[in-house]
Chain A
Amino acid sequence: MAVAELTTAGGALAAPRRRRTRAAASRIAGGLAVLITILLLSSFITYSLGALSNSNPAATILGQDAATPAAVAHLDHVLGLDKPLPVQYGNWLSQAVRGNLGVSYFTQIPVSQSIAQRLPVDLSIAIGAIILAVLIGGTAGTVAAVRRGGWADRGVTLACSAVSTLPAFVVGIILVVAFAVGAHVLPANGYTGPSAGIGPWLAHILLPSLALALPVAADVARQLRTSLVSVLEQNYITGARVRGLPYRRILIRHALRNAAGPALTILGNDFPLMLAGAVAAEAVFSLPGLGQLLLESAQTRDIPVVQGVLLVVSTFVIVINLLVNTALGLLYRSADGVGV
């Protein structure tokens, strides 16, 4: 990075910048090509689930009494279920791209509407969890690396392995017992939107976010400790110390900046894990989120809802992963120089 800055400062302004823009554009274009292929594949898998179930949706909707063969055939035609699978998939996908995921077999509520209703719950706890994971994991990892071999390091390492052994839902239960049942500080369950006031909203999402954040924070801390320890042994850190720069400044501006890459990658890769954790958090804290929607619709075999939720969730994961990887690629242009 420093080399590039020097050349731009040196006078040859336009050429390197153009080259850099072109490199970034090709990166993003390549990423988009991969993204679209993967999205198509995973959405096809998602749609095939409906065909896999040998349940007869038309008969289910009509109920046992009204399900005459003629009525079933008519409804199959209306729902488009009499066409071959690739055609059905094409129709479903072209509607899905326009935001229409069909209607629930049982409630007749549009799937996109029920998803839009539930999504804010998961987004609040997921964003809360990312912030907490960065704060907790970042602090713990830095402290452990700076005090390498000391009691703080040993404590962090022990806590990390304890947390990553525990399943997310057990972590959630421990938090409920500690903060809600034991100390009565925070509400143990339920959700109120931010429209009802920021305070109650934060109080309701804090424990679920924390339950979600702790396993990720453990990963981040472990990774950050590893890379920070090796960065702190580099010559340029010694150089900066010899020059008499304050240690805090060396740590933050010189060491952490270079050591953060792998930890950020972990954060991006743990995102699918976080979604699984969100289902756990919803179950433990009885939050009305996407996971609960999926569970309910799976029990009633409401296939359009199941497909819709799965499509939205996997699209989220794919897009976030691509964004993280592209951002990291742009941030650390010489990727193999990071950390080590």
Chain B
Amino acid sequence: MTRVTRRTPGSSVLRLPSARIAVAILAVIVFLAIFGSTLAPQSPLAIDAGALYRGPSPHHLLGTDYLGRDVLSRLMAGTRLSVLTAFEAVGIGLVIGAPLGVATVFLGRWFDFSANRVADALMTLPSIFFAVAVTAALGNGLVQAMLPVGILLAPVFFRVSRAATLEFSRAQYVEAAELLGGSKLHVIRVHVLRKVLPTIAVTTATAAAGALLAVSFLTFLGIGVQPPTPTWGGVLSSDLDYLNLAPWAPFIPGALIAITVGALNALADAYRDRAGAGELHSPVTDPVIKTHSTLQALEAADDRQTAA
């Protein structure tokens, strides 16, 4: 047990093959986000009327779409916008939610109560509806659309970091540190925050997966992008209109989205498994409105069983 705590969590996670694969996939995606549009083999906007709905071939590795545009190039060029806006949403959620979640434990009951009610209210807003509604108010752009997604991710970070902080702030060593005269800020920073950070890291990975899904779905609906601009969801939605001619086409962008989301989730799972039950506060799926039911998801119990 002590050996596990001394190892840095990052390196021990990478011993799991699933985590290594996930990190490799995510590295490729980040690489594509940076260099995708420069490395694309052909122009993502070049129309070729002589090669519509082509299947994969040496010339077009992933085939062509309804205008004869190269699908591989379009997906590579579309990566940056999808990844950046997903980062935007996660960043907003993290910056708003996590510090408040840690702070609320130390700011008194009244603040805690009202912050929780606000979180409850935010969690009831269905994020996709909210995102579309905000584009009506702030203008049709993906950056505007992901703003509410980020705000709606904040209560998730808030809840998880609050629960973890609550748990660790009751630990005896925290009490001891306080009795030894450590200031509140010092105790939080040194003794509580360090324990809470892994939990927040796991939540970040899960939230990033959710944000990426939201981006692809919004671009699929045509929110926030002008038609010739390539995006993951946009490629998918244009394929949908020509299902009779090319029924296999939507599976390429669909698989790309699913693989990326799957990699993020696998990384979060690996981290969670590796850290063990005592180390990491498991982010239990909270009921949206906590009224009286204390039923909890049993996923965590199952994980322990299968591990044993």
Contact = CB atoms under 8 A, between A and B. Distances in A.
Given A169-B217, A307-B133, 17 more contacts: A37-B117, A41-B117, A45-B122, A53-B138, A167-B213, A167-B216, A223-B298, A262-B296, A265-B297, A266-B297, A291-B132, A298-B223, A318-B124, A321-B287, A321-B288, A326-B293, A339-B295
Interface string A38-82: 100110011001101101000000000000000000000000000
B110 interface: no
A38 B155 CA distance: 14
A53 B137 CA distance: 4
B79 interface: no
Interface stretch (A26-34, A90-98, A125-133, A238-246): A26-34
B111 to A, nearest CB: 16
A177 B250 contact: yes
Interface in B257-308: 257-258, 261-262, 265, 285, 287-299, 301-302, 305
Interface string B237-250: 10010011001001
B41 to A, nearest CB: 25
Interface in B219-253: 220-223, 236-237, 240, 243-244, 247, 250-251
Interface string A225-243: 1110110000000000000
Interface in B106-145: 117-118, 120-130, 132-138, 140
A173 B240 contact: yes
Nearest to A268: B287
A272 B127 CA distance: 9
B55 interface: no
Given A222-B299, A226-B299, A165 B261 contact: yes
Interface of A: 27, 30-31, 34-35, 37-38, 41-42, 45-46, 49-50, 52-53, 55, 165-170, 173-174, 176-177, 181-182, 188, 222-223, 225-227, 229-230, 261-262, 265-266, 268-269, 272, 275-276, 279-280, 283-284, 291, 294-295, 297-299, 301-303, 306-307, 309-310, 313-314, 317-318, 321-322, 325-326, 328-329, 332, 335-336, 338-340
B301 A226 contact: yes
Given A49-B133, A165-B258, A167-B261, A318 B289 contact: yes
A170 B126 contact: no
How many chain B residues sit at the interface, stated as a range, is 35 or more
A229 B302 contact: yes
Contacts, number: 212
11 contacts: A34-B289, A49-B137, A165-B265, A226-B299, A230-B305, A262-B296, A266-B285, A268-B287, A298-B136, A302-B136, A332-B293
A115 B4 CA distance: 56
A272 B213 CA distance: 15
Interface of B: 117-118, 120-130, 132-138, 140, 213, 216-217, 220-223, 236-237, 240, 243-244, 247, 250-251, 254, 257-258, 261-262, 265, 285, 287-299, 301-302, 305
B295 A335 contact: yes
Contacts of B299: 222-223, 226
B127 A322 contact: no
Interface of B is mostly: helix
Contact of B291 (A30, A165, A229, A339): A30
Contacts of B138: 52-53
- Kindly list the 6 A-B residue pairs having the minimum CB-CB distance in the complex, ordered from nearest: A53-B137, A41-B121, A298-B136, A226-B302, A170-B254, A276-B128
A333 B40 CA distance: 60
Contacts of B126: 272, 275-276, 313-314, 317
Contacts of B291: 27, 30-31, 34, 322, 325-326, 329
B227 to A, nearest CB: 13
Given A165-B258, A279-B221, A27 B132 contact: no
A280 B298 contact: no
Contact of B293 (A53, A173, A279, A328): A328
B262 A279 contact: no
B221 A170 contact: no
Contact of B124 (A31, A52, A314): A314
A38 B121 contact: yes
Contacts of B236: 169-170, 173
B231 to A, nearest CB: 14
